[in-house]
Structure 1
Amino acid sequence: MTKHVYQFQSILRNLISGYIEEKRAVGYKFNKGSSLLRQFDNLAANEGLSELKLPKELVLLWTEKRPNETISTQNGRISTIRGLAKYMIRLGYQAYIFPPTSTSIERYSYIPYIFSETELKNLFLICDEYPISNVSPNRHLILPLLFRLLYGCGIRISEALKLKVKDVDLEQGTLLISDSKFGKERMGCVNNFV
């Protein structure tokens, strides 16, 4: 299956494409950044940007906080447009760089919920008794395993869903977790729940 290549529309299309290529050339997947830049490209085209520059007004319009948006999501847009601006300046174009002191990222504001033993027991009981479904005939088998995998190995849901049979070594009691966050690879232990 061929991967769809997005065609940017604004006057900044070649610069945006070049920036994405540069990020990927140095090892970043840059999928989220690429998606954000598609949205920014649409904004630039809709606003009628007609010069090869990144004006302050457009950057401020792009980075303003949206209704019901988290600070983290806004910071993602700010970081992406700041990177594009720095790239453009390196190439000799005029670009407004959103000030770094204007944002603060509260990385540790999230407070995790710790399940009690009773809650965990009930969660696993519900998974174990999940009814068979004609729509998804293996769901009653997958859910108990998936929840135990998440709980016992402490892996992310995206990592669990990407696992292949070849990644599981029951003799060694390990999982090979490939293509995880930041493109890293690591081993996980399955002895906790097998």
Structure 2
Amino acid sequence: MGALNFRSRLAPYIIGLIEQKRALGYKYTAQVKILQKFDMLCAERFSEDSTVTKAMLDVWAVKGSEEAPGTLRHRVTVIAHLAQHIASLGLYAYIYPTNELPKEPKYNPYIFSGDELTRFFRQVDCCHFSSEVPNRHLIMPTLFRILYCCGLRPGEVLRLEVGDVDLKKGVLLVRASKNDNDRYVPMSHELTEVCRRYAAEVHFNGVTHKYFFPAPNGGMISSMNIYTNFHRFLRKAGISYGGKGKGPRVYDFRHTFAVHCLRHLVLSGKDIAVYHQALKTYMGHSFFKYTAYYLKLTTDMFPDIREKMEVYYKLNIDGSVVCHE
């Protein structure tokens, strides 16, 4: 903890919050960076204050010119949690009403059709060798297949280290995903074989990489790199791109995975009440409501399965899902 070097009078409470979160099993790394910046603000402009005040938040909660609403909400929420921690100790602290923060514009997920996926992966597999990025033609076909076949978040795929990919058992270890949780994600036999062939060419004897999908400099591939290639493959596959905020997005492979998975389960006559819980764990959702969102999305995309879905769930007009007792 000493290495964090908090300087404001809130330091004991900040350290106490971090210790509490980590004791509960959270990695709590991105939040620490936010707390460090807040501590710096407090040390420089509110050096006499030993608790979270409204004056601090009047400065901290100002949206940056290029800042996304979600980013603002996240960094203000972390400080709200700090204030709640201080209040739990019986002291006064100003807790910012985060429900009043601007919300991200609603994005309607783009669900790829079977034909679109075929066209997209045909173009991915045509990715050619480049001396500037020598492993690109090997990385892209495998990386995008993991995105779709496992429903991983883009950042989760990029952060996979060589030791996180068990090529013998066909299991991925996803570390420090959303909410700082770790989880194991099994792969199909076909995808495991794809990963084995890829690893044999990129991670052969004598070549050491930290990341399963290494950048040319040995570090982690940037998300911008993936998006650049993604848009190129879309264009060559004849799939229209609606522009920023409209999609398709790389993240839509995760949405597509969930919808296609649920549709397959329903049409196969599986007990959705059981498999839906498994899907929740597989996708790394903290709460049932996040996975339940895909039930509504699936019935909207494929009305023919709505009647079968309603055997297990009540689908409300507003899109919420309620389990039958």
Instruction: Tell me the TM-score normalised to structure 2 length.
Output: 0.50
Correspondence for 1:41 among 29, 39, 42:
39
User: What is the Cα deviation at residue 122 of structure 1?
Assistant: 4.2
2:126 pairs with 1:147: no
Aligned-CA RMSD value = 3.0
Secondary structure at the counterpart of residue 187 of structure 1:
strand
**Alignment CA distance shift 1:34-1:130 (3 Å):** same
User: What is the Cα deviation at residue 85 of structure 1?
Assistant: 0.8
Give the alignment of 1:3-152 within 5 angstroms.
5-99=3-97, 101-103=99-101, 109-117=106-114, 119-152=116-149
For 1:30, the aligned partner's letter is Y
Residue identity (%): 34
Correspondence for 2:171 among 153, 171, 175:
175
User: What is the Cα deviation at residue 13 of structure 1?
Assistant: 2.2
Do 1:12 and 1:52's aligned partners in 2 also have CA atoms closer than 8 Å? yes
Partner residue, 2:308: none
Deviation per residue, 1:122-155 (Å, 9 max, x gap): 4323322323233332221111111122122222
Partner Cα separation in structure 1 for residue 99 and residue 114 of structure 2 = 44
Segments of 5+ residues of structure 2 without an aligned counterpart are 194-325
Partner Cα separation in structure 2 for residue 48 and residue 166 of structure 1 = 44
Secondary structure at the counterpart of residue 41 of structure 1:
helix
Q: How many residues align?
A: 189
Partner Cα separation in structure 2 for residue 26 and residue 12 of structure 1 = 22
User: What is the Cα deviation at residue 105 of structure 1?
Assistant: 5.7
Runs of 4+ in structure 1 over 4 Å off: 103-106, 116-119, 191-194
Secondary structure at the counterpart of residue 3 of structure 2:
coil
User: What is the Cα deviation at residue 37 of structure 1?
Assistant: 0.8
User: What is the Cα deviation at residue 58 of structure 1?
Assistant: 0.7
Secondary structure at the counterpart of residue 30 of structure 1:
coil
For 2:174, the aligned partner's letter is S
Do 1:53 and 1:95's aligned partners in 2 also have CA atoms closer than 8 Å? yes
